[in-house]
Amino acid sequence: MMLATIIFLSLAAVPVAQFDAEQEENEAVAELPRALIPAKQIERTSPRYPQFERRQRKQAWVRITYCIDESGATRNVSVLDSVGNAKFDNAAIETVNQWKFEPALIDGQPSWQCRNQTGISFELKGANTGASKGFVKYYRRIGRLIDENRLEDANKLFWQVYESHNLSLYELSKLWEQRVRYESISGNMYMLNKAIHRATALKGKWIEKKSYIHLLELRVQVELEIGQYYSAMRAFRELVKVSGKGSAEVLALKPTIKKIRDAIKGDQILTINAEVKTKDECNVCNNSWAFTPVRNDFSFASIAGTLDSIEMRCNHRLFESAVSGRVDWHIPDDWGTCHVQVYGKPGTTFDVLMRPSSS
């Protein structure tokens, strides 16, 4: 059964490179003291479309994370995820490296602002509104293979289409939407989460609203299952925004979200089973495991393998440290919310223990 209708179009040959801020830094403002003035962009360079890729009609999007230092320059620019090749990644990094800001201020003093993300898309004008007949043929064939539980064949054809064909960004989103169906059957929750994020890239810009709502609902459930509580609650807020407070999807999830919020405020230790994975094995992984803590105190325990380092990109601090054995971490309140990346040897497993602040 198909998840959504495929829309046909003929592609125009005009290249367009653009960016879409995901506004995570703005969401964080409400969590910070009133003395905060967030960074304000004053110079924005447009992305450069790689010439060879344009001639080959290749398209891509890139999710970038970056810091803004006390001078207003961007620092520590890196790729979170992308669909495309290294040339698109490098073009996106080059673009963000050239941006200039008025720095964030805390009590009138310049401060780092480090939990920033932006999405940069490279597309052919008009290509985000439909799919070619050739793509639809492959899309439906993958769907039939999944329906017939021929997962090995479906997987092979999926990667053949993804790696060998010049797809529009709409087609890429639809292809990853089929991958959601595949991973739902395979049972790999981390790859399912990755597929959902890729299908809904840049807040569902290239898929139908009905599909976006369905995938947001699924994302909340999956991320709660794998302990990504902060990300799940962000997805729930987006679901409320898109589908409405009284929608069936929102009403079905509200009791679960309430239980999670109550647990976060409670006095019990919250435990997450984590595993270091490669960039191809889960969302926002790169020989690492990532999460946004919902409490300021946490530690790693039951480490089986090797953990090397930890990086915290916080609203107002970039923190990096080696990891050796069990260490108790505390995020000061004035750092704000932090995105935490734990690097190590792929396959290393460990528990994340998030302690209540009173312990």
Domain with CATH 2.60.120 in the chain: 270-355
CATH fold, domain 270-355, is Jelly Rolls (2.60.120)
Domain with CATH 1.25.40.10 in the chain: 135-265
Q: What is the rounded CA–CA span in Å between residue 208 and residue 211?
A: 5
Cα of 169 vs its chain's centroid, Å = 17
Amino acid letter, 197:
H
CB of 288 within 8 A of CB of 276?
yes
344 phi and psi, to 5 degrees? Answer: 180, -165
- What's the pLDDT at 57? 86
CB of 79 within 8 A of CB of 64?
yes
CATH 1.25.40.10 for domain 135-265, yes or no, is yes
CB of 96 within 8 A of CB of 66?
yes
Residues with Cβ within 8 Å of residue 163, at least 6 apart in sequence: none
- Overall pTM surpassing 0.75 (yes/no): yes
Q: Pick from 204, 164, 199, 155: which is nearest to 180 by CA? A: 199
- Give the helix/strand (H/E) hosting 353: strand 349-355
- What's the pLDDT at 352? 96
- What's the pLDDT at 18? 53
Which DSSP string do the residues of 23-61 spell out, in sequence order?
A: -HHHHHHTTS-TTEE--EEEE-PPPPPPHHHHHTT--EE
CB of 134 within 8 A of CB of 57?
no
Q: Which residues on neighbouring strands pair with residue 275, listed in sequence order?
A: 349
Please provide the distance, in angstroms rounded to a whole number, between the alpha carbons at the two ends of the chain. Answer: 50
Q: Pick from 116, 173, 114, 178: which is nearest to 146 by CA? A: 178
The owner of tokens 């709409």 is: 170
List per-block mean pLDDT (blocks of 10 residues) for the chain, which spans 359 residues. 40 43 41 72 91 90 96 96 94 96 92 94 71 93 97 97 90 96 96 97 93 97 96 97 97 96 94 95 93 95 95 94 85 93 96 83
Q: What is the rounded CA–CA span in Å between residue 243 and residue 214?
A: 10
Q: Which CATH architecture has domain 15-124?
A: 2-Layer Sandwich (3.30)
Own/partner long-range contacts of 238-243 (Cβ < 8 Å, ≥24 apart)? 238/203, 239/213, 242/204, 242/209, 242/212, 242/213, 242/216, 243/213, 243/216
Q: Pick from 226, 281, 267: which is nearest to 354 by CA? A: 267
